[in-house]
Amino acid sequence: MSRKAFIKEGLKLSRGFTNRMLDKFEKDSDWLYQVHPEANHAMWCAGHIALVDEFFVKLTCPEKAIDLSADEKLFGMGTKPVSDASAYPTPAEIRKRLSDSHERLLGVLEGLSEDDLDNPTPEGSPDFLPTLESVFRLAVFHEGVHAGQMSIANRGLGHAPLIG
């Protein structure tokens, strides 16, 4: 399997898990459930994944990225989730952002060759993302981390696990 195919499979697998997990949050209040006051809820996780996916698009193909800087105050690194639903977009809006950012990221990957994956990221990129490939690999890992956080909230709500 090529590196590109491996990454694409990982992106689709992680997003499939995220989407199936979000399907379990049936009530709007479920999206804001926190197992602990400092824990991330599903709304924050989903909004954060969408925001970071756009950051990854910006690093790998800036002309395809959209500006989500307004979401930085809600979902950016270092922000904390709040329990006030009026502070956030609706779950449907967040799911649309997730879908759109994911499609853009997959579209960028599709447009790259295997050799392109070795290209360096733009100047000013984080040191831990030296190549385009590293960006896509982190996208898979990043989503898995936050999907796991949503899984904990799902269990805290008394729902059955998604797997197992």
Mutual orientation of helices 42-60 and 91-110 as an angle, nearest 10°? 30
Predicted pLDDT at 162: 84
pLDDT at 153 over 90: yes
Q: Give all domains of the chain, ordered by start, each with its CATH number.
A: 3-156 (1.20.120.450)
pLDDT at 164 over 80: no
**pTM for the complete prediction?**
0.96
Among positive and negative, which fits the CA dihedral 149, 152, 153, 154? Answer: positive
Q: Give CA–CA dist 27/78, Å, rounded.
A: 27
Q: By percentage, how much of the chain surpasses pLDDT 90?
A: 96
State the virtual CA torsion across 28, 29, 31, 37 in degrees, nearest 10. 160
C-alpha distances out from residue 62 to 40, 54, 57, 104, 122, Å: 29, 9, 6, 11, 10
Q: Are 3 and 134 in contact (CB under 8 A)?
A: no
Q: What is the pLDDT of residues 6-15, one digit of tens each?
A: 999 999 999 9
Higher pLDDT, 57 or 162: 57
Q: What is the pLDDT of residues 39-90, one digit of tens each?
A: 999 999 999 999 999 999 999 999 999 998 889 999 999 999 999 999 999 9
Q: What is the pLDDT of residues 97-147, one digit of tens each?
A: 999 999 999 999 999 999 999 999 999 999 999 999 999 999 999 999 999
Predicted pLDDT at 134: 98
